[in-house]
Amino acid sequence: MNLNQFRKRFPTEDVARKFLEKAIWPNGRFCPHCGCLKSWPIRGRTTRSGLYECGGCHGQFTVTTKTPLHGTKLPLRIWLMALYFMVNSSKGVSSVFLAKWIGVNQKTAWKIGHAIRAMMAAHGNAIGQLSGIVELDEKYLGGKPRFQRGVKHPRGKGTRKSCVHVAVSRQGPARASVVDNDSYATLAPHVRKVVAADAQLMTDQLQTYVAIGKDFASHESVHHGIKEFARGNAHVNTAESFNATLERAKQGIFHYISRQHLPRYLGEVVFRWNNRDPVEKKQRNGLSKIVMQAKPVLEQFDNLLKYAVGTQLRRTIYGGIAVPQPLFGG
């Protein structure tokens, strides 16, 4: 779907609102205040359309109440357009470009970007435990230290950069989370949380995994230190390919990532990775090859907006944003 087709799909605010109502309430309208399924539209000459009254708590709500779009003064079509650009780019969109494309100022675009990332992160958290062959790896992300003449800064592990733990199932989704460090005490409970016990683990030579691997169906590792990158079916190439997309997103879009916002940036990279389908592509030599291709835009919208309610960003008194606790334990 190109931008022109996209504009034609959403010609008015009403169409955009109806689309959002279907995507945000896929199982029917519910009150975001109390969860009640009974509600009715409030009609009146002065009432804005899309306003409902709850039969349970008698509170009023719209489709954006208690979502990252809560209280937005922007047209819903601008939000959908921002979603379109975020979902369509292969490695993310900077707030500077997003601002130009959707016609808002950079500060607003930055907030819109994070609101969308918050839903992407919620989508990633809802994946549940990975199973089958699961590759584990760690990646260190963070800003470069200030340049100092003659000083060579260490890279990766042991620096102040954030440790990101990556778990990728070879034929399925990925998960990425910020962890404190790569010690057994930190990683063991984390891996048990994101990976099912019947999974076959593949890791590099990090010693911690030897002990962690005992809790799973099997564990094989490759030793990168002695230039061993694959041994039969044992490799972590999928995890490394995921890390490469993470690195590209970091280089391209979020050059400097603060610890506070890092989980949401990770959510974006994970969302993109998990919203692809295998597609058969004919090659020049006549053979076909399976490549991963992004799902259709509107399908990705539906996947994302399901997680809108309860994922809310609030402005802090310092003008930044904060993430309150989810409403329904999700």
β-pairing verdict for 218-221 and 200-203: parallel
Contacts of 156 (CB under 8 A, 6+ apart): 140
∠ CA 144-248-236 to the nearest 5 degrees? 105
Residue 264 CB coordination number (10 Å): 23
User: By CB under 5 A, is residue 170 in contact with Zn ion?
Assistant: no
Nearest to 183 by CA among 216, 220, 158: 158
User: By CB under 5 A, is residue 36 in contact with Zn ion?
Assistant: yes
> How many residues interact with Zn ion (rule CB under 5 A)?
8
What's the closest the beta carbon of residue 25 comes to Zn ion, in angstroms? 13
- Tell me which of 56, 75, 320, 326 binds Zn ion, using CB under 5 A: 56
Burial of 74 (0-12, 13-18, 19+ CB in 10 A): middle
C-beta of 65 vs 243, nearer to Zn ion: 65
- Tell me which of 33, 91, 190, 306 binds Zn ion, using CB under 5 A: 33
What's the closest the beta carbon of residue 38 comes to Zn ion, in angstroms? 9
C-beta of 36 vs 74, nearer to Zn ion: 36
User: By CB under 5 A, is residue 51 in contact with Zn ion?
Assistant: no
Which range touches Zn ion (CB under 5 A), out of 36-44, 83-91, 213-221, 293-301? 36-44
What's the closest the beta carbon of residue 178 comes to Zn ion, in angstroms? 35
What's the closest the beta carbon of residue 308 comes to Zn ion, in angstroms? 17
What's the closest the beta carbon of residue 50 comes to Zn ion, in angstroms? 16
User: By CB under 5 A, is residue 31 in contact with Zn ion?
Assistant: yes
Nearest to 184 by CA among 206, 199, 159: 206
Q: Return the beta strands (E) in the chain as ranges.
A: 39-41, 52-54, 60-61, 133-141, 162-169, 174-179, 200-203, 218-221, 230-231, 234-235, 276-282, 288-294, 314-315, 321-322
Structure tokens that stand for 89 in this block: 């780019």
User: By CB under 5 A, is residue 54 in contact with Zn ion?
Assistant: yes
Asked whether the beta carbons of 41 and 31 are under 8 A apart, the reply is: no
C-beta of 39 vs 274, nearer to Zn ion: 39
Which range touches Zn ion (CB under 5 A), out of 33-41, 42-50, 183-191, 192-200? 33-41
User: By CB under 5 A, is residue 34 in contact with Zn ion?
Assistant: yes
Asked whether the beta carbons of 114 and 264 are under 8 A apart, the reply is: yes
Site for Zn ion in 57-86 (CB under 5 A): 57, 59
User: By CB under 5 A, is residue 98 in contact with Zn ion?
Assistant: no
Dist. CA 157–CA 59, nearest whole Å: 51
C-beta of 54 vs 98, nearer to Zn ion: 54
For residue 195, what is the DSSP state?
B
Which range touches Zn ion (CB under 5 A), out of 31-39, 169-177, 183-191, 316-324? 31-39
Please give the residue ranges that form the binding site for Zn ion (CB under 5 A): 31, 33-34, 36, 54, 56-57, 59
